[in-house]
Amino acid sequence: MASYCLTVSRLQHALGLGVRRLHITTRLSARGKVAMSRFEPNNFLNYEKLQKNIEIVRKRLNRPLTLSEKIVYGHLDDPVGQEIVRGRTYLRLHPDRVAMQDATAQMAMLQFISSGLPRVAVPSTIHCDHLIEAQVGGAKDLERAKEMHQEVYSFIASAGAKYGVGFWKPGSGIIHQIILENYAYPGLLLIGTDSHSPNGGGLGSICIGVGGADAVDVMAGIPWELKCPKVIGVKLTGSLSGWTSPKDIILKVAGILTVKGGTGAIVEYHGPGVDSISCTGMATICNMGAEIGATTSVFPYNHRMKTYLNKTGRSEIAALADEFKDNLVPDSGCEYDEVIEINLSELKPHINGPFTPDLAHPVAEIGAVAEKSGWPLDVKVGLIGSCTNSSYEDMGRAAAVAKQVLDKGIKCKAQFTVSPGSEQIRATIERDGYAKILRDVGGIVLANACGPCIGQWDRRDVKKGEKNTIVTSFNRNFTARNDANPATHAFVTSPEIVTALAIAGTLKFDPEKDFLTAANGEKFKLQPPNADELPARDFDPGQDTYQHPPSDPGNLRVDISPQSQRLQLLEPFENWDGKDFEDMQVLIKVKGKCTTDHISAAGPWLKFRGHLDNISNNMLIGAVNIENNKANNVKNQLTSEYGAVPDTARYYKKAGVQWVVVGDENYGEGSSREHAALEPRHLGGRAIITRSFARIHETNLKKQGLLPLTFADPADYDKIRPDDKISIQGLKKFAPGKPLKAVIKHKDGSQDTIQLNHTFNETQIEWFQAGSALNRMKELQKH
């Protein structure tokens, strides 16, 4: 490899470096293509400004600050006047950049186009990782995806070029791995239209998952609102060793906090144990923090991050981070709202599931638990990779396990798949022999994409409804998420444990104590895997897959055919008419867990992410109706006939009947997909009333002009019947902190009156009144 120096104009101003001139060294492959980071002039944080804002806030609050507070408050629009109360006030922030994956970017860019703005105000990128279906193998699956989704790829590529957004082509890799390799750095504030954006916390960044409407605000240069997070501290002592991996830390934390225990909080890891974790291992932990509902997770800057920055062509940033290190670690004596302590020396390998990512078990116990619970013991498929665990170190540790059994003449009993996190990872593991080892043990190397992790898996080894077990190194294992089969019992664990269980073919295998049988009949035990944290010969960049937007888009146009079934320009939602919502029909009273997968399924529906009307045909089809314990089966109160939820909603809309959804705890858990909010708005919904909401979904509902409301008394959920009509009163005096009233009219003529709480602030109430946040943005432009 050769190298060259790229002088970035205006960079010293962006970094607050005064007269110092900074040269960014970027590696070139033998083919002469840019191989590492893609830098924009204002891609970097102004550390001096960060420091200035931190000093202002620390003086105002008169106390030590946590790391997450430093980074978040360091990006305040008004550090002097902003009210700051953890868990209560809304902060106005200026993030450094925006990242979007191809499924969410469609709607985000459609909304940005609707805004009428000529170009994005902050560095932004689109990453094509969600639309590639795993079927036979990487190269063929990628070509198939390019053919199937050509219309969508063309749209987001041209929209990126027109509006100044970088475009990572299909095959580049998974958004979060690309961000870690190219854009994340200590002190960054990034928002991403994917719930696992917190992955960047492994490199000391505050990266927060949001909906597309939030991304539009930031791309427009408007201060972005975030409820001031509480801070949960996780103190790590001891050190990782043996079969225990970084994944086991977050699996343990998920078991402690549950899927909603982190809601409204940033999880901040600290303590002497941090230094035993690689940078990509920290990213794994932050990535899966999404499964506990956390706003994001972050680690303090240390030598492991510096090594990673140097290895990925960003040594100048590492040098700056060293210079400003005091701002990239927590203050001594800072206080957390809650503290969890984990001794890494005592932590054992974990496996979580099935059906929920917080059901934690030590690997040593899962076989007995599975037998007692009636879960299938045979492991049908082991799947490694995904945005959570696809680093060079992850692949190396999995290969170290595989190599041991290959040397004994045996292979995997289960099917085995490998999803590289990026083109750079794929090329490097091919060069260094890891990919061959994983293939030789029985694996199939899939495309550099999300694939089975998000349901993009053309699985054919079991029939729908057939009870079976799979183990993955993914992050999320909701019912039917990976393969659309509700009978699949999915477990999440580390890549090395997945590999061991795929080799053994059963959950009743503990690699720390159980034996395997070699081809010659000899009994042997697997040794704990060892692998390099980073490649000794540097990364192989692979193919150049990045398209930088032109500095002058000229007459570029973004065309959408009116006949398209995949893309549809947006029509503004109607604004509030100034009246209370009277006699709304209950569309569905949802029983139990209702994630965004239940509200707006992915898998085959991903192809309609750019067409609001078509994708609305999946609205709430996975939610269970409390009336009959069935999914996608509700009674049309106007015709007395049972039918699909979207069809019933469309019938009500056509008849001029407004409707409401009633939900249970942590409604909207999971993905950031704003389609789960756009669809009910599009089909005539006005309010979602629940016991509690997941953070991203609650914000998405507000952005689209819906009312996310919670029962003041959670027991009031039981008062609502599926055939009720609900009136929401008090909207003319709608104000922050002031509850609304709901009158529930039963068919027998009786009524109940209950109180509904909300978390709207004054700006968000303006979104509601205007019909959506986008409508309000347009109103403000006129002034």
Catalytic residues: 129-130, 194, 476, 671, 673
Query: For residue 231, what is the DSSP state?
Result: E
How far apart CA 502 and CA 378 sit, in angstroms, is 9
Q: Which residues contact 31 (CB under 8 A, 6 or more apart)?
A: 544
How far apart CA 772 and CA 706 sit, in angstroms, is 8
Q: Report how far apart, in Å, the C-alpha atoms of 130 and of each of 171, 289, 400, 483, 676 are.
A: 10, 20, 29, 15, 17
Q: Report yes or no: 675 and 107 within 8 Å, Cβ to Cβ.
A: yes
As separate numbers, helices (DSSP H) first and strands (DSSP E) second, the chain gives: 24, 34
Q: Report how far apart, in Å, the C-alpha atoms of 774 and of each of 102, 208, 220, 565 are.
A: 21, 20, 11, 24
Phi, psi angles (nearest 5°) of residue 585: -80, 140
Strands (E), 563-640: 581-589, 624-625, 630-631, 634-635
Pairing of strands 350-352, 634-635: unpaired
Reported as type and span, the H/E element at residue 472 is strand 468-472
* The residue to which tokens 């109607």 are assigned: 574
Residue 697: Cβ within 10 Å count: 29
Q: Report how far apart, in Å, the C-alpha atoms of 621 and of each of 202, 212, 487, 591, 707 are.
A: 36, 22, 17, 13, 21
Q: Report yes or no: 481 and 356 within 8 Å, Cβ to Cβ.
A: no
Query: For residue 233, what is the DSSP state?
Result: E
How far apart CA 67 and CA 56 sit, in angstroms, is 15
Q: Which two tokens stand for residue 427?
A: 């090329």
* Closest by Cα among 601, 611, 598 to 569: 611
Q: Report yes or no: 702 and 758 within 8 Å, Cβ to Cβ.
A: no
| Gap between the terminal Cα atoms of the chain | 54
How far apart CA 483 and CA 148 sit, in angstroms, is 20
- 31: buried, middle or exposed (CB in 10 Å: 19+, 13-18, 0-12)? exposed
Reported as type and span, the H/E element at residue 344 is none
Q: Where are the alpha helices (DSSP H) in 21-131?
A: 47-61, 67-73, 102-115
Query: For residue 454, what is the DSSP state?
Result: G
Answer positive or negative: Cα dihedral of 199, 205, 210, 215. negative
Reported as type and span, the H/E element at residue 746 is none
How far apart CA 99 and CA 123 sit, in angstroms, is 9
* The residue to which tokens 């965004």 are assigned: 596
Share in percent of the chain as helix, strand, coil (round to 5): 35, 20, 45
Q: Report yes or no: 313 and 36 within 8 Å, Cβ to Cβ.
A: yes
Q: Which two tokens stand for residue 700?
A: 């998405």
| Residues 395-433: b if buried by 16+ CB within 10 A, e if exposed | bbbbbbbbbbbbeeebebbbbbbbbbbbbbbbbbbeebe
Strand partners, 727: 743
How far apart CA 111 and CA 170 sit, in angstroms, is 22
Answer positive or negative: Cα dihedral of 631, 636, 641, 645. negative
How far apart CA 577 and CA 579 sit, in angstroms, is 6
